[in-house]
Structures are given as structure tokens and as C-alpha cells.
Structure 1
């Protein structure tokens, strides 16, 4: 019996993922001085054990001042490589492609961890040791009233930032990651260059769409130049700002084409986040509410896409891939609810008798034997299966 489309392997440059499920980067705000720890290993490792094809490390800052919070992961110095190398190796050893997202928070840097308020740092945060630091952006416009006012980046500073992106990329290579994503979404630095609402520059890095795209595209060029040719590069975008006067889908199609011309292999199609939290959306939220963005960009920019956003059910994910709306499906908070989401989806979408053949052998061995007994029980039905 042929594999359901969601579970057909996909080859991206020189790597092949076992299925079309990608675990979205989800910040844990639990690093110390940018260094990952056992929490991150277990958090991410569960998703590889749970069957996902690609598992992506959360937004990883390319500079210390580019962190969102004091708890963010970083790759701005060599001491951060080895702990991430351990994670990449575990993901790979358990069948998943190890991926990482590189980011700079821009004007949304130096903020609270979300469980303390998800807003600007307060004196109470400072008593916990979370002191504010200077932040930068394309223009000196605070994210919202009461937030820090960023310093407008000078043209001399662009070169320093490109050097930081280059160095972080090389560290990601050394750590053993096989896919990299550049974060151009959710109100962070590169998105704030793209949006006319946050970029009011009058030099070559502002003004019309070409000017606003200039620095994000320079970052992409810098990363692609040192990221191995055999490995895929993705870019996460906010397909629309969802705010009057902001980025529209037509802008994102043009940006996707330009990114593709510079060696990008996938566009990860999110939305919103220019104002408020990273997950704030100015468009109606429903199941798969961002899938049409992935479908349009895939078709009009002729580039593979990742669909993300309230994709909860196996049938829903299967339909997205089967109908050609996207090439990969990103699962985020639903994977926090069920780290074995991918394996459970496979049970639901296939009719194979070897029910647990693709589970880790340490689990599958037990579950196969349990099932043989459960089948003898009157009225028993295997969970997560259609039949």
C-alpha cells in the first residue's frame, strides 16, 4: 500500500526527510547566557522520537543584543556550539533532520519572558536579574507605547550584523545542523525592515519595496554563501502584516522570488506579529488560517513552502500536502500537547498491520504486544485509527 502524501519522504538539496512534518521553532525562554541545556534536549528530542521528519531549534540569536529575552538560545560565541551539537546529534540519531532558526529580535528585543507578562521589562523583572539592554531597528520607532525606543541602525552597523549572521551560520554548520531557517517574520529585525509601518528610512535601506528588502536579502546572501550547498535554506516570513498600510501578500510573493534567486529553498509562511506578541495575528484565526498564504506563494513564486498555523488534525495536514497547498506542514503547539503527533497521525492515515513498526523500538516492542491482547477485548478499538 502506498504511503499517504504526508508520509512520503521529501528531498531538499542533499538531505531527505522521512515525512512532510516539521516541528516549528518554539522558544522555551530557558537558556542561560544563550546556552541550551537538558530542557532543550528533552523538549526537542521528544519530537524526533515522535516521528517528525524535521525538528527545528527555536529562534537562535546571532548577537547577545538580538535576543528576545534573557532566556533565548544563541549562537554568538563558540561556547554555545557544543550543547547544540548534542541536540543535533540526538535528532539525527532518532531519524529527524536537525534544523535551526537564526534570528535577531530588533525592536522586540529586551522584553519579558512570556510567563512574566510577554511585554516590556519592568522593575519587577529587573529584581529577578533581567536587566534591559540597548536595542536596534531600521527606524527609532518603539514596538508599542511603553516599550524601549530602538536606536536607528547606521549603515556602518549593517556590516557588523552581516558578520554576526555569517559567524552564527558557520557555528550552526559546526554543530551539525542540516537545515537552516532565517527568521524574517513576527516583528523581529528583518521583518521590521520589510514592513513600511516599521521602516521609515530614507536611505537605500528604506523607502520603496526594493529598498526595504535590501538588508533582509543581504542577510540571506550572507548566510547562503557559507551554508553548505548540499543543505537546504528556509526563510520564515510574515506573509501579511494584517494591519492597514503593512505588508500584503503581493509583497511577500515578490520577496519570495528574490529569496529564491539567492538560493533559498523553502518559504515558511506565517503572518502578523509586527505589533504585540510573535503569535499576534491581525487576520481571522481558524483551522489552517495561514495555509492560503503558503499555497499562493508556492504557486506564484514557484518555490516550495511550509504551511503553519492551527494545523491540528492528521486529515487536515494530509489534505494540505495532497492538494499541493504546501510541501511541508509545520506543527507547533499541537506537538506540545502531543509530542507523538506524527506517529499518531501515521496510525490514523495508514492501514498497515504492523501498527508500531515505525515507533522507536524501545516503545514499539511493548505496544505491539499490548495490542495483541487488547484486540481480544470486546468492543476494543485502537485509538488514533479510522477503522
Structure 2
């Protein structure tokens, strides 16, 4: 534990919020509360706060503020192992809304560092989700009126701008028609992800997640429903995934090899003619061979207004389970023989099991988390809206599993019933 800024040291037997202490009626620690290593990132338990947009930056600045400081620090006090900051735009026109967080300028670093330092003081790791909204940009925050439609670029409020995408195909009739990106635009965006990674390193993040899901720019390139290009970034599968592979390569060129890097995928578009699980499996096989990704975050949907999702508890976990089975398949060398490792261009040796898999989506109890982990369907579990309902959900999960964990020291009285 890091020593907090109080006039005393933590007790010697205090392990930190979210870490098991003594057990009550069970013989071993639930897997939920066992540590895990992702690359060199050590998580104290398997519970991660999923990225969730807050739409709380002022004056089109992209600057995080005291709302974000309190919001994220609460999850850290509550014992989460890793907190991933909300979708953060790598370019100003890549924001979902005018109130989104950004990392397109060095001016964003100090406010982020303040929050990161706070989270680290509670022995919790911090990640950032790098994103570009593409054709789904320039909208109202979802909790305001007219949130399901675009703000025009000439809107008197000054809160709208021209949106871009792989092809001039709008998301729905209430959204703006995107301008088709030129190859130069694409290269500039790839560079923006790289520059954002450099800033993320300077700010002190432990983990980067590249947002390639939920119908945002990278996902738009991946899917044949939104990408009708005929150049090297469109058409066949290889061309449609090119931008993601180039972004990963660009980010990894500046993000140290010993720091964890992940990608969030919409494994299924939930339409007949869209990106599907077979495409995801093919992509993950390629990512696995490249050896530059440490975590595959399995989500779904968001790229088609025609999607039909059968929502139920843990409904996305089967996607993670399928990806996990691929990750656990032995690598093949170029000669075709089985091997437990593969050499990358940088000379790294890497095994399949080094890539971890996460699941997310309507997971609200400790028993659900434990069942996913015990069945080997995922390595970690990301929790979103449940943390909004209760920032101290880790305490609830421990109660669900009948395991005693340390609370934040100043809240120790809450452990007594």
C-alpha cells in the first residue's frame, strides 16, 4: 500500500480496500478476489470499472475537473482493482458530445494526472479508453433533450461540428451525414491515437484501451454496413481491419512494451449483414499472432440502428468465452508446428495465455462474477452501471460471496453489522 496523506500510517495488517482479510464461512478465497497480472500490470482483484462517459467537461475544453476527481476516486476507495477512464477523444472532432473528455492536447495532462494520483493513493490501477466517435460525434449528452440526434455544425450554440466517417452513411435519419475521410484524414487520426498514447504515458496511466466498439470510428471501419470504401481501408475484411491494426502498431510504438494495452471490440453487430462473431474470431486470431495486445475486452452492438439485441444478465459473456478458447489454443509457428510462444518483430517471446479476456454487460452481483471466472469464460469482469448505482459495489460483491475484505480504512465501521 502507498502511504496516504494523513498523519498516520496504515496498520500493518491492513491490505487495502478490496483485498481479502479473514474468511468467514468459506475455505478459500473466491476467484473474484484473487490477483491477476496483465502484462506487468498487477490487479488486486478481478473487478474493473468499465469506461462510462460522464459528459461533464466544460466549455468544449475536454478538460476533466472536480466531478471526475470525485467520481473516479470513489471507485478507488471502494476497492476496484482497475478504473478505466471514460471514452476520451484523440481529436476534438472525435468527441461524442461537446462535453466529452479529451486528450488531443497537452493541456489535458495536468487535470488527468491529479485524478490518477488520487486513484493510485488507494492502490488502484488506472486506464484510459482512447476513442474517436466518427459519424456518431457532435451530439447532446444522452441525459438531455434531443440527445438522439446530431447537433448541426452551424448550430448557434457552437456545440456542433462536421462529423467524419469511413463512408458518407449516417447512423440514422436524426444523425448528420458524415464526410468521407480521405486517406490523409485516416493517417492523421492514426497519428492522433499515437500522440494521445504519448500524453497518456506522461499523465501516468497504467493501461490503455483502444475503443474499437459501440459504433464509433474504428468499429465503423470494421463493419461492412458502415464502410463502403473501395480503397485500402475498405472492401474486404483485410482492408476494413487495417485502420485498427495500424492504430495498434502506432500506439504500441510509443506505449512501453511492459505496459498493458487492450482493445474493446463489439463482437457482434446484432444485424444480419453486419460485423459478426466469425469476423471477431478472425480478427482476434490476427491480434493474437501480432503479440502486441494484452487484453481483449468483449462487448457488442452500437454500430447499427437496426440492431436487435436479446438483452439478459451476462448476455455478452458467451462472446468472451469464445475468444478465451481462441486465446488458449497453442500458437503455430510459420512452419506450421505447434508452439507455446511466438516471436514478434521486437524479439519478444509471448504465449497465448499472456492475452487476457474480459467480459461486460448486465453483471450486477458477486455470484455472477464468480461463476464467470470459475467457468473460465473470462479472466476479469468489467462492471459499469452497477458502479453508478453503488460506487462501493466491490463491498457488495464481497458480501454476496461471503468473504471478508478490507474496506477503506476510514470506513472500517461499515464492516460491522
TM-score, length basis structure 2? 0.83
CA distance in 1, matches of 2:89, 2:193: 9
CA distance in 1, matches of 2:138, 2:291: 31
Superposed CA deviations along residues 122-177 of structure 1, whole A, max 9, x for unmatched, are: 58x945x3532111111111111132111111112222112111110000001100
2:147 aligned partner: 118
CA distance in 2, matches of 1:350, 1:130: 53
Alpha-carbon distance, 1:275 to partner: 2.7
Higher RCO (CA-CA < 8 Å; seq separation 6+): 2
CA distance in 2, matches of 1:43, 1:281: 32
Bigger Cα displacement from structure 2, 111-120 vs 209-218: 111-120
1:317 aligns with 2:407: no
Map of 1:334-349 to 2, 5 A cutoff? 334-349=386-401
1:266 aligns with 2:295: yes
| 8 A contact 2:129–2:209 mirrored in 1 | yes
| 8 A contact 1:220–1:259 mirrored in 2 | no
1:204 aligns with 2:232: yes
CA distance in 1, matches of 2:318, 2:356: 14
Map of 1:88-107 to 2, 5 A cutoff? 88-107=116-135
Q: Tell me the C-alpha RMSD between the 2 structures.
A: 1.6
1:229 aligns with 2:277: no
Alpha-carbon distance, 1:343 to partner: 1.8
CA distance in 2, matches of 1:25, 1:219: 20
Q: Structure 1: 5+ residue runs without aligned partners?
A: 372-381, 383-387
2:331 aligned partner: none
| 8 A contact 1:27–1:72 mirrored in 2 | yes
Map of 1:1-387 to 2, 5 A cutoff? 1-32=27-58, 33-116=61-144, 117-121=146-150, 126=155, 129-260=157-288, 261-276=290-305, 282-302=308-328, 303-351=355-403, 355=404, 358-364=406-412, 366-368=413-415, 371=416, 382=417
Assess, with a 3 A threshold, how the Cα gap between structure 1 residues 121 and 138 changes in structure 2: closer, same or farther. Answer: closer
What SS does structure 1 have at the residue aligned with 2:116? helix
Matched residue pairs, number? 360
Superposed CA deviations along residues 185-213 of structure 1, whole A, max 9, x for unmatched, are: 01100000000000001111111111100
CA distance in 2, matches of 1:259, 1:30: 34
Structure 1 runs of 4+ with >6 Å offset: none
TM-score, length basis structure 1? 0.90
| 8 A contact 1:221–1:262 mirrored in 2 | no
Q: Structure 2: 5+ residue runs without aligned partners?
A: 1-26, 329-354
| 8 A contact 1:287–1:311 mirrored in 2 | yes
Alpha-carbon distance, 1:108 to partner: 0.3
CA distance in 2, matches of 1:92, 1:231: 16
CA distance in 2, matches of 1:316, 1:130: 45
| 8 A contact 1:253–1:301 mirrored in 2 | no
CA distance in 2, matches of 1:262, 1:340: 35
| 8 A contact 1:271–1:281 mirrored in 2 | no
What SS does structure 2 have at the residue aligned with 1:295? helix
2:332 aligned partner: none
